[in-house]
Structure 1
Amino acid sequence: MPTNRTLTVNGLSIHIAEQGEGPLVLLLHGWPETSHSWRHQMQPLADAGYHVVAPDQRGYGRSDRPEESDQYTILHLVGDVVGLIDALGAKEAIIVGHDFGAPVAWTTAMLRPDLIRGVAGISFPPTQRSPVPPTSAFRQHFGDDFYFLYFQHPEIPEAEFTRDLRTTFRTLLGGDNTQPVSTQVPAGSGFLDLFTEPDVLPDWLTEQDIDVAVESFTRSGFTGGLNWYRNFDRNWSLLAPWQGATITPPALYLIGGADHISRAFTDPAAIADFASDLRGIIDIPEAGHWVQLQRPDDVNTALLDFFKQL
């Protein structure tokens, strides 16, 4: 079973769940998740001989939540990964990220390849820096109602998501995410309107899992996590010195075969242009966006096969 403790990283208290001994593997969750989203990976990876660590990243769960939105840039998030590696007494790590955790993993591998044995991204591929600020690119390609732009509004998405936390997580996590959905949030509607709350949760998600999410976000709120999105343009400016840089550590990409959200605005085929040592792009059949929860055995097998190559 995983154990829990708190580490001091870059002046913040970062909560981690950890299990096993051996080479360090960091599992980075996305939005709106916590370390609990890796509950099906901890034991199998630990049993395979790895020290598996899943943090609540800054702004989430039991970790600290700086108030200022500019404390959630990609450089802060990468800095937390670097700090975690050091605080855990390791010289290097394999990093795996899902959803928004994937850009953190990809960027860490790009900026600090000396620390990264290998990098795996799930549900979000690495992307080249755009020629214009991201919010401008989003408007150009997807229109003013694209949900990333909805997340830019202060307080509005927070009010939507906290109105009824149980409904929020039953809808976001338990709704059928294997069917095509819109990425548009028109004026007068909300992000949750893109999904339908199920009467009965899917077999890979329990009411106890919903309890964990409700408890976690009752404590943390949503602002910290949404501030990750609110730094898109700031990140674009900060990463200007790495324009054209590539990811050099061995890399793997996994995506659910029915993950229509990620496929709506990303191109997995372009990964090879960005990752110079790409070991594979793996589609997990019939899985949606929460692939590591829906098809844990397939994800664990793919990750361990990749780890063995490193």
Structure 2
Amino acid sequence: MTQQLPQLPSIQRVFLESIVSSSDPEGRFVEVNGVQAFYKLVIPASHRQLIQKKQLVPNEPNKPVILLLHQILGNQYTWRHLMQPLADATGCHVIAYDRITFGFTERPTQWEEGKNPYTQEASVEFALQFVNNLGYGEKKIVFVGVSAGAAISCTIAIRYPHLVHSLCLLGPSISPDDQGPPPIGRHILGSAPGRLFLKAALYRYLPLTTLYHDPDSIPDWETVVKPNYRVPLTLPNFYESLSWLMKYFVPLEILPHKRYLAQVPMLYISGDDDKYLHIDKHREIFDDIISVAPSDAKIEFKVIQNCGHLPQDEKPQEVLDSIINFLYRVGI
């Protein structure tokens, strides 16, 4: 009888694991749908103290888990200011992961027919499977999503409302015209010449300063923040996977189902200087949702001053306070 040898891990996995083990010991990996996903999980400080004393962590079955979903060209690093304070204030476990293509998550180079991991539909199912694989499948989820991460959050709320505790949307890109480049742009970026363009442009311009009101106001912008956003540029298959993401990008249908979305407690946050999606457009989208909401809907709109498209980077304390206060009001 021929003995079957165990399958060796891919070179890409070994490389990513070695980088993380030496540079980010708080990070972890979990396999989701055949992809090794990088994530961070924080628990309330009070729970950590109990663990250190070898006491059991209180079982709080009614507490949701908080899941943070980053923007395109972002990674879980964008939530650095929010994770521990959110856990301490709410008593919830808080998780952030690198979506496929970004950060330290594995980037598949081949896949079975019908299981393309680079579609927006796949990103929706990936988020739910990720939570389930970490053992939180029985808990409701508070989604905190920024830009395209908000689109994934809203889609889950529409399709699986029984899984959702509430939504906190930061600079959400949830209308078809605002979810990524226009079709011709996706076609170009998904081609071989487009890949070369991405290499040249992102090496020079990432992170995109147009997404901010004033990046120079962010502490350690040049020395810490910018390098952390640029890490993926050096990792295996980044440009290939980004090109595939653009090639297969089809916007998620959200606003046509706004009546279902309006049933979920929602905090909608916008910067007053969002150059990607103007504040007036955010107000229009919010008004469109609220127009079909029930009279007792828990839906709020918050504008943060002197802030661009990524409030969690520019105004983390205001974002944190707004989210915590909202979650208290809706019964965290």
TM > 0.5:
yes
The aligned runs of 1:52-67 (5 Å cut-off) are: 52-67=94-109
- What is the CA–CA distance in structure 2 between the aligned matches of 1:257 and 1:251, rounded to whole Å? 19
Q: Are 1:178 and 2:201 matched, yes or no? A: no
Q: Are 1:152 and 2:187 matched, yes or no? A: yes
Aligned equivalent of 1:20? 43
Residue 100 of structure 1: how far off its partner (Å) = 1.0
Residues 94 and 156 of structure 1: is their aligned pair in 2 closer, same or farther, counting only changes over 3 Å?
farther
Aligned equivalent of 1:216? 232
Q: Secondary structure of the equivalent of 1:27?
A: strand
**Displaced runs of 4 or more, over 6 A:** none
**AA in 1 matched with 2:233:** F
The aligned runs of 1:257-296 (5 Å cut-off) are: 257-263=272-278, 266-274=281-289, 276=293, 277-296=297-316
The share of aligned pairs that are identical, in percent, is 22
- What is the CA–CA distance in structure 2 between the aligned matches of 1:73 and 1:123, rounded to whole Å? 21
Residues 238-263 of structure 1 deviation map (CA, whole Å, 9 limit, x = unaligned): x8xx8665212211111111102112
Q: Are 1:94 and 2:142 matched, yes or no? A: yes
Residue 264 of structure 1: how far off its partner (Å) = 7.7
Residues 283 and 79 of structure 1: is their aligned pair in 2 closer, same or farther, counting only changes over 3 Å?
same
**How many residues of Structure 1 are paired with residues of Structure 2 in the alignment?**
270
Residues 91-111 of structure 1 deviation map (CA, whole Å, 9 limit, x = unaligned): 221011111111011111111
TM-score between both structures, scaled by the size of structure 1:
0.75
Residue 268 of structure 1: how far off its partner (Å) = 3.0
Residue 165 of structure 1: how far off its partner (Å) = 4.9
Q: Which runs of 5+ in 1 are unaligned?
A: 128-133, 180-197
Residue 13 of structure 1: how far off its partner (Å) = 1.2
Q: Verify the 8 A CA contact 2:69 2:149 in the aligned structure 1.
A: yes
Q: Verify the 8 A CA contact 1:125 1:266 in the aligned structure 2.
A: no
Residue 265 of structure 1: how far off its partner (Å) = 9.1
- What is the CA–CA distance in structure 2 between the aligned matches of 1:164 and 1:271, rounded to whole Å? 33
- What is the CA–CA distance in structure 2 between the aligned matches of 1:243 and 1:251, rounded to whole Å? 15
Calculate the aligned-residue CA RMSD, in Å.
3.2
TM-score between both structures, scaled by the size of structure 2:
0.71
- Matching residue within 84, 98, 119 for 1:43: 84
Aligned equivalent of 2:223? 207
